[in-house]
Amino acid sequence: METVAGNFTKLQQQLQKKQKWFLLLISSLLISTILILLTVTFSSGWNNSASTTQLLFRRRQQQQGQSSPRFAESKLAKTETFAGKLPRLAYLISGSAGDGVNLKRALKALYHPRNQYVVHLDLEAPVEERLELIRWVNEGEKVFQEVGNVRAVVRSNLVTYRGPTMVSNTLHAAAILLRDGGEWDWFINLSASDYPLVTQDDLLHTLSSIPRDLNFIEHTSDIGWKEDQRARPVIIDPGLYSLQKSDVFWATEKRSVPTAYRLFTGSAWMMLSRPFIEYSLWGWDNLPRIVLMYYANFLSSPEGYFHTVICNAEEFKNTTVNHDLHFISWARKFGKNDPVLDRIDSELLGVSADGFVHGGWFSKNIKANSTELKPGNGARRVKNLISGLLSAEGFRTSHCI
Ligand SMILES: *[C@@H]1O[C@H](CO)[C@@H](O)[C@H](O)[C@H]1NC(C)=O
Ligand SMILES: *[C@@H]1O[C@H](CO)[C@@H](O)[C@H](O)[C@H]1NC(C)=O
Ligand SMILES: *[C@@H]1O[C@H](CO)[C@@H](O)[C@H](O)[C@H]1NC(C)=O
């Protein structure tokens, strides 16, 4: 031990000697540079009398004059909303094997030319079923081609129920909608077994009078039993690397609950604002990425990813409305040709024989920017709900608790 320690001190002394030499060399170099600079600046060779320091100083002042502190984050954080116009919604409707029929029916009931749609059947669905959906979207319905606002995901994802691949699939669709979907205000993801309870005219009409930056996401930090059952176990989703669908599996080790951010959980239905989707996807702040990686090993990550991101992001926290619009705007879980669907069609939506809800847009020549809405009873229900939520006591102070 002692010889090791002795060797170590010797080594240190040698290093210190070398350092001294190095320092001397550097400081002499520095002094000569400064001397040369000074001679150059004060010599008459300059046309104007500005010294180097003045030049540098001016440059900096000019930069600051444009806008005070210029962090990339704060500049990027201000994404625009399209207030003033009637809102537009961007939908993802996704399903798996055998969901094709339901998905088509839901899409028609949800259809409006103002909106944007992405439909996705996951890799578990047989190739024929996926091709049939793509064919139907691209050639089957005349309206879709005229307006051009429905897209089928061709490169399907493998989506594991309760696994993080559900989240990546949602983000994938949101990315497609951001890139190709033009202007839209809210993103809504539904599954093929969901069905609307109000018409799009109802929804667009009601949403036209509320701030576009609101996020409807039911959430709580009271994770309760989920701490033991969800947050501590570590799971692996084979959908992240395999082509075959199989269930998630558990690692033997458990992990502790995060301390860098608080976990939130809540409902799987949500209506998220465009600025928040941009924040989640473009990642000008690292939080969405970090949380995404954390949730890669989280059982039922779909129940918590967006909730945790939004509630830990200072700039979005206050935009949350603690409701998922479930049972007001949409419901599940419906099987193929469920008789309840027929009742919803006739009693709530007024679906026509062709499967579409003929709102204000259908009687005119179909226009992508059709602005004529015919809201019905559904609009009243949604309006009552939303105005109740926004005017509730403590709305402003009870976000993300
Ligand atoms: C919407 O996406 C989230 C995140 O992937 C998921 O948790 C949720 O189940 C989806 N909602 C519906 C209704 O499919
Ligand atoms: C959010 O609301 C809280 C409580 O009203 C307030 O203290 C905070 O400054 C708000 N944050 C932002 C970013 O507006
Ligand atoms: C959108 O609406 C405006 C005014 O209502 C109209 O002039 C325009 O042609 C419409 N655009 C499309 C693509 O139909």
Place of tokens 């779909």: 302
51 inside domain = no
Residues with CB under 6 A from ligand 3: 367-369
166 lines ligand 1 (CB under 6 A): yes
Mutate to test the pocket of ligand 1, among 270, 329, 330 (most ligand atoms within 8 A of CB): 270
Whether the pLDDT of residue 42 is over 80: the answer is: no
Measured from the CB, is residue 268 less than 6 Å from ligand 1?
Answer: yes
What are the DSSP calls for 195-207, one per residue?
Answer: EESS-HHHHHHHH
pLDDT bracket for residue 114 (50, 70, 90): very high
Token digits of residue 143: 């309206």
Taking phi over 0 as left and psi of -120 to 50 as alpha, with beta for the rest, 266 belongs to left
What's the CA gap between 50 and 69, in Å, rounded? 26
Which runs of E-coded beta strand occur in 52-145?
A: 89-95, 116-121
The pLDDT mean for the chain works out to: 83
Please state the rounded mean pLDDT for residues 340-356.
88
Domain range for 265 is 89-397
For ligand 1, atom 5, the nearest C-alpha belongs to 167
pTM of the model: 0.79
Instruction: Please give the average per-residue pLDDT across 141-146, as a whole number.
Output: 90
Using one digit for the tens of pLDDT, what is the confidence trace for 157-197? 988 888 889 999 999 999 999 999 999 999 999 999 999 99
Structural domains of the chain, count: 1
In a domain, 135, yes or no: yes
Asked whether 115 and 89 are in contact (CB, 8 A), the reply is yes
**pLDDT class for 64, splitting at 50, 70, 90?**
very low
Task: Give residue-wise pLDDT tens across range 361-373.
Answer: 886 666 656 788 9
Q: pLDDT tens, 9-25?
A: 565 666 566 666 656 66
Q: Is the CB of 394 under 6 A from ligand 2?
A: no
The SS3 of residue 233 is strand
In angstroms and rounded to an integer, the radius of gyration of the C-alpha atoms of the chain is 29
Q: Which ligand is nearest to the CA of 314?
A: 2
Ligand approaching nearest to the C-alpha of 361 = 3
In a domain, 294, yes or no: yes
Asked if the structure places residue 46 within a domain, the reply is: no
Distance (angstroms) between ligand 1 centre and the Cα of 274 equals: 16
* CB of 174 shorter than 6 A to ligand 1: no
Spatial contact of 117 and 110, defined as CB atoms under 8 Å apart: yes
Q: Which helix (H) or strand (E) holds 251?
A: strand 249-254
Q: What is the mean pLDDT of residues 236-254?
A: 88
Residue 268 lies in a domain: yes
Rounded distance, CA 239 to CA 123, Å? Answer: 10
Does residue 163 form part of some domain? yes
Does the beta carbon of 397 sit less than 6 angstroms from any atom of ligand 2? yes
Q: How far is the CA of 134 from the centre of ligand 3 (A)?
A: 28
| C-alpha of residue 320 to centroid of ligand 2, in Å | 12
CA nearest ligand 3 atom 8, residue: 369
How many angstroms separate the CA atoms of 266 and 217, rounded?
Answer: 8
What whole-number distance in Å separates Cα of residue 344 and Cα of residue 363? 22
Q: Is residue 99 part of a domain?
A: yes
Answer whether 283's CB lies under 8 Å from 308's CB: no
* Ligand 1 atom at minimum distance from 169 CA: 5
Q: pLDDT band for position 346 (50/70/90)? A: confident
Residue 393 is assigned to a structural domain of this protein: yes
The residue whose CB lies within 8 Å of the most ligand 1 atoms, and thus the one to mutate among 93, 110, 158, 166, is 166
Ligand 1 nearest atom to the CA of residue 189, by list position: 1
